[in-house]
Amino acid sequence: MPAPLRLHNTLTRKVEEFVPLVPGKVSLYVCGMTVYDHCHVGHARAMVVFDAFVRYLRLRGYEVTFVRNFTDVDDKIIARANERGEDPNVLAQRYVDAFRADAAGLGLVAPDHEPRVTESMPEIIALIVTLIDKGHAYAQDGSVWFSVSSYDEYGKLSHQKVEELRSADEALGKRAPADFALWKAAKSGEPSWPSQWGPGRPGWHIECSAMANMHLGGTIDIHGGGLDLVFPHHENEIAQSECGIARPYVGTWMHNGLLTMTSGQKMGKSLGNVINVHSALEAFPAEALRLYYLHNHYRSPLPWSEDALPEALGMLSRLYDAREKAEAMAGDDEPDALAKELGPDAAAVLELGRAFPTKFHQAVDHDFNTAQGLAHLFELARAVNRFANHKKAKSRGRPIVEAALAAFILVRDAFGLMAMPTHAFHSEVKAKRLAALGLDRAHIEALLSERAAARTTKDWPRADTLRKELEQLRIEVLDLPTGVEWRVRLTAD
RNA sequence: GGUGCGGUAGCCAAGUGGUUAGGCAUCGGUUUGCAAAACCGACACACGUGGGUUCAAAUCCCAUCCGCACCUCCA
């Protein structure tokens, strides 16, 4: 039996027990990208949060069917293509490819289905026909509109009142200001598909209703997306689906908070303050982004700043280094007796490691509180480090840290963090930081070997001069018992 | 104007009425040839403000101030 979870439901605005329609199975639909530009670090938050959520559900024993769409026909795509004198389909495909590269870079698990609007046209048209037949929609001059007044629960997700809504697309043949397009009559030069109302294309919201139904069936357990989609997108999806397919449309609505700039404003394409995933991944490992997202609660706004990724990378290094110390320990004594012999720091690691799975799940089962789950891991890492200072830890400590090592594996499986061997992590960090700062590896290595030579002759002044020279290049030299290591400093000067 | 979310130490931040969450920064100490990392300690009587309920409030209630988002481009 999968573990019981509690999730915040936007519909009720409460954290409630999650009960899937079919015990043990979860159908999950997440709104994907509208492919008219690169994926930025705000999109990536939604992608990573739901990626980790899928991993966690599976770890907890649920059989998950995960669908994430591409919206590849849309006003914005057409507008962008016209600006550039490019075919909209070619432009959309280019950004689909770019997204796939970013998704791979971020280490996202592949959805079970990744439907595209252009490949779902018969289902979309069929749904519109049903809505017209049932009296929830009307055709006018080659377009089809959803009649909001035909659905008296409209507004239940976003708590908007129909009378309060401003109107857009006025004078296009709508009967009421709040009505929204299901099908847009083609204008010249736009991509279009034949239909009984004439050539045209789907409105923005209908595709998700149709594609969710195609791949997951009438009622879906969880629908996710960014908070900014609550209105109008998800509100309209509910109206379309509940009038045309099934009620309820969705059991639990999950919305992630938005990335904000330090000024408090959100990051948005329209504000021109975006950082692309691609450039973030050139300078930082994907796990640093992942940790940055997951060390906050998914529903909170998340401030972006220059320091966000360096700080997250520092935190990640801390975890990797603690794990490495534990991995390096040997010994095969009976753990409880050994803990008694080695003292309170050993006993603390043993106890924290053993308690970890319970504490971790308790935190994360409660509305996916990844921040609190990770806090427990940091607590454990500190205990490991403290214990590792003991003289006998390296030769005999392995049984003491065995449970702590299992904790790192648990977090890896749940969140996709700590998935690399430590040396691979550090060499990826080095490569990316060197590239980002434009540093020359050969030059650094020459300075390092010169310093090594000075140290063998105990020429300390020369060694220190070289250390300072390297420091100015942002290279930190570590004289470890196992040999000389070096790292690229993360923080700004 | 309408609908929501939020204000927790220098900064970010979790908190599900009852024992120092966590991270980052700065400053001391241990350690180190010098450093770094790590550990220990300080910053720390933290919860926007004013009332109320309670044996007990960051948490519940009322009022109030401030910030942000959404109200047909948005993850």
A94 and A145 co-located in one domain: yes
A234 and A355 co-located in one domain: no
Domain boundary among A247, A281, A315: A281
pLDDT greater at residue A170 or residue A136: A136
A323 and A396 co-located in one domain: yes
Q: Is residue A293 part of a domain?
A: no
> Which of A159-187 are b and which e, b meaning 16 or more Cβ less than 10 Å from the residue's Cβ?
ebeeeebeeeeeeeebeeebbbbbbbbbe
pLDDT band at residue A424, thresholds of 50, 70 and 90? very high
pLDDT at A91 over 70: yes
Q: Which nucleotides of B are covered by protein (CB under 7 A)?
A: 1-6, 12-16, 21-25, 32-40, 67-75
A125 and A190 co-located in one domain: yes
pLDDT greater at residue A438 or residue A64: A64
Q: Residue A466: which domain range?
A: 439-488
Q: Of the ranges A303-307, A354-358, A417-421, A456-460, which one carries the lowest mean pLDDT score?
A: A303-307
Give tens-digit pLDDT for A403-421: 999 999 999 999 999 999 9
The spacing between the Cα labelled CA in A171 and the C1' in B64, in angstroms, equals 44
The spacing between the Cα labelled CA in A478 and the C1' in B28, in angstroms, equals 23
Query: Would you state the pLDDT for residue A269?
Result: 59
Q: Which two tokens stand for residue A230?
A: 């609550």
pLDDT at A493 over 50: no
Give tens-digit pLDDT for A137-186: 999 999 999 999 999 899 899 888 776 565 555 556 788 888 999 999 99
pLDDT at A272 over 80: no
pLDDT band at residue A301, thresholds of 50, 70 and 90? confident
Q: What is the count of structural domains for chain A?
A: 3
Q: Is the CB of A273 under 7 A from strand B?
A: no
A219 and A318 co-located in one domain: no
> What's chain A's average pLDDT?
91
Domain boundary among A281, A314, A349: A281
> Which of A348-357 are b and which e, b meaning 16 or more Cβ less than 10 Å from the residue's Cβ?
bbbebbeebe
Which neighbouring-strand residues pair with A146? A137, A180
* Cα separation values, A470 from A123, A314, A450, A451, A464, Å: 62, 20, 11, 10, 10
Torsion of CA A397, A399, A400, A402, to 10 degrees: 120
pLDDT band at residue A352, thresholds of 50, 70 and 90? very high
Q: Is the CB of A169 under 7 A from strand B?
A: yes
Query: Would you state the pLDDT for residue A206?
Result: 95
Give tens-digit pLDDT for A216-269: 988 999 999 999 899 899 999 999 999 999 889 999 999 999 888 655 556 665
